[in-house]
């Protein structure tokens, strides 16, 4: 039962981190920029703070997601994934893209990220097509 709780906790943590990379991090960066800005039109200082904060926050969330994914793989006993080279980095000499005895499979962390992106995209589509209203003809 302890392993199930650890797996569930790590999977929940990874889903939360993925969600915050796309929503929480940018919102926090905008909030920090608004604290620097104060009243009036945007200044370059506030914009620089937003960009710097966004980069730092998202990088930290990404590193935390990597650590959670490694911990999830250790708890589930998943073997290390086969190294996969990007197509644009492969040689044009016709070498095999796979190695004998090694097969690439999605890790638990990759599955969680993919599922989170699909759910977020579906939620955006539902909002856009059914709840956002039409700006056409609005005055």
> For 36-68, how does the pLDDT look when each residue is reduced to its tens digit (9 = 90+)?
887 888 889 999 999 999 999 999 999 999 999
- Is 125 part of a structural domain of the chain? yes
**The token pair that represents 46 in the structure block:** 């506030």
- Residues 69-78: contacts with CB within 8 Å, 24+ apart? 69/14, 69/107, 69/108, 69/109, 69/110, 71/10, 72/7, 72/10, 72/11, 72/14, 72/107, 72/108, 72/109, 73/107, 73/108, 73/109, 75/3, 75/6, 75/7, 75/10, 76/7, 76/108, 78/107, 78/108
- Is 65 part of a structural domain of the chain? yes
Contact 105, 81 (CB under 8 A): yes
- Is 89 part of a structural domain of the chain? no
Range(s) of the domain holding residue 62: 2-79+107-131
DSSP 8-state secondary structure symbol assigned to residue 87: G
- Is 122 part of a structural domain of the chain? yes
* Domains contained in the chain, number: 1
- Is 95 part of a structural domain of the chain? no
What distance lies between CA 104 and its chain's CA centroid? 21
pLDDT band with cut points at 50, 70 and 90 for residue 112: confident
List the single range of 75-89, 105-119, 120-134 with lowest mean pLDDT.
Answer: 75-89
- Is 90 part of a structural domain of the chain? no
- Is 138 part of a structural domain of the chain? no
- Is 121 part of a structural domain of the chain? yes
**What's this model's pTM, rounded to 2 decimal places?**
0.70
Alpha-carbon distances, residue 135 vs 121, 128, 131, 138 (angstroms): 21, 12, 12, 5
């Amino acid at each position: 039962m302890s392993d199930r709780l650890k797996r569930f906790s790590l999977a929940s943590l990874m889903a939360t981190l993925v969600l915050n990379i796309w929503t929480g991090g940018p919102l926090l960066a905008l909030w920090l920029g608004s604290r620097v800005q104060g009243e009036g039109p945007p200044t370059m200082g506030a914009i620089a703070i937003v960009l710097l904060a966004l980069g730092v926050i998202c990088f930290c969330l990404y590193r935390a997601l990597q650590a959670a994914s490694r911990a999830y793989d250790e708890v589930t006993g998943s073997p290390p994934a086969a190294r996969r080279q990007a197509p644009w980095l492969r040689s044009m000499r016709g070498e095999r893209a796979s190695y004998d005895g090694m097969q690439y499979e999605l890790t638990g962390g990759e599955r969680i990220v993919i599922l989170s992106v699909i759910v977020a995209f579906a939620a955006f589509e539902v909002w856009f097509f059914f709840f956002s209203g039409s700006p056409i003809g609005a005055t």
